[in-house]
Structure 1
Amino acid sequence: MIVSDGGPGWAAGSTVMAIRSNESMGFVDVMMAELGGPRSGTLLARLEAATPWEKLAAPIRVLPEYNNAGAGRPPWCPVLMLKCLMLAKWNNLSDPGLEEQLQDRISFRRFVGLSFTDKTPDETTFVRFRDRLREAGIHDAIFDAVVEHIEREGLLVREGTMVDATIIEAPRGRPRPDGTTTRDQEAGFTKKHGASHHGYKGHIAADLSGIVVDYRFGTAKEHDSNHIDDLTINETRLVLADSAYSDRRRRAELRARGVIDGIIYKRNRGQKDLHDWQERWNRAVARRRARVEHPTAMLKQQLGYRRVRYRGRQRNEFDFALTMAACNIKKSLSLKAA
Structure 2
Amino acid sequence: MIGWPSPSFPRSSPRAASSLAELAALIDWPEIDRHLVGISAAAKGEPGWPPLALFRALLLATWHDLSDVRLAEALDDRTSFRRFCGFAAHESTPERTTFVRFRRELVRRGLDRVLFEAITRQLEAKGVTVRTGTLVDATLIPSASIRHDGEARWAGHRRRKPTHGYKAHVATDEGAGLIRGVEVTTANVHDAAELERVLPPEPGHVYADSSFAGGPAERVIIGRGGTPRTVQTGIWGRGPEALVRLEAHNAAVRRIEPHRLFRRHYLLRG
- TM-score class, shorter: 0.5 to 0.7
Q: What is the aligned counterpart of 1:202 among 145, 168, 191?
A: 168
Q: Distance in 2 between matches of 1:197 and 1:111?
A: 36
1:163-242 alignment to 2 at 5 Å? 163-170=136-143, 173=146, 182=147, 184-199=149-164, 200-209=166-175, 211=177, 212-232=179-199, 234-235=201-202, 237-242=204-209
- 1:228, CA displacement in angstroms? 1.5
Mapped partners of 2:248, 2:23: distance in 1: 37
Kept in 2: contact 1:266–1:274 (CA 8 A)? no
Name structure 1 gaps, 5 residues minimum: 1-44, 66-74, 174-181, 268-272, 304-319, 325-338
Aligned to 2:260: 297
How far the C-alpha of 1:250 sits from its partner, in A, is: 4.2
Decide whether the 8 Å contact of 1:48 with 1:111 is kept in 2: yes
Q: Secondary structure at the match of 1:141?
A: helix
Q: Which amino acid aligns with 1:190?
A: A
Report the secondary structure of 2:236's partner residue.
Answer: coil
Which residue number corresponds to residue 46 of structure 1? 19
Contact 2:168 2:268 in 1 (8 A): no
Q: Percent identity?
A: 24
Q: Paired residues, what number? A: 236
- 110 and 191 in structure 1: CA distance in 2 versus 1, 3 angstrom threshold: closer
Q: List alignment gaps of at least 5 residues for structure 2.
A: 1-17, 39-47
Are the aligned partners of 1:243 and 1:266 in contact in 2 as well (CA < 8 Å)?
A: yes
Task: Report if the CA contact (8 A) 2:180-2:200 is conserved.
Answer: no
Partner Cα separation in structure 2 for residue 153 and residue 111 of structure 1: 19
Secondary structure in structure 2 of the residue aligned to 1:186: coil
Larger Rg: 1
d(CA) in 1 for partners of 2:105, 2:152: 23
Structure 2 residue matching 1:142: 3-state secondary structure: helix
In structure 2, C-alpha distance between the alignment counterparts of 1:253 and 1:134, rounded to whole Å: 25
Higher helix share: 1
Q: Does 1:61 align with 2:53?
A: no
Equivalent runs, 1:35-114 vs 2, <5 Å: 46-52=19-25, 55-61=28-34, 80=53, 82-84=55-57, 86=59, 92-93=67-68, 109-113=82-86
CA contact 2:27–2:122 (8 Å) conserved in 1? no
Q: CA deviation at 1:220?
A: 2.1
Q: TM-score scaled by structure 1?
A: 0.52
Q: Which has the higher contact order (CA 8 A, sep 6+)?
A: 2
Against the structure 1 CA distance between its residues 57 and 289, is the aligned structure 2 distance closer, same or farther, given a 3 Å change threshold?
Answer: farther
Structure 2: how far apart are the matches of 1:47 and 1:235?
31
User: What secondary structure is seen at the aligned counterpart in 2 of 1:156?
Assistant: coil
User: CA RMSD, aligned part only?
Assistant: 4.5
Flag the 1:293–1:57 CA change in 2: closer, same or farther, 3 A. Answer: farther
Could you say what secondary structure the match of 2:131 adopts?
Answer: coil
Once residues 249 and 28 of structure 2 are traced to their aligned partners in structure 1, the CA distance between those partners, rounded to angstroms, is 40
Give the match for residue 29 of structure 1.
none
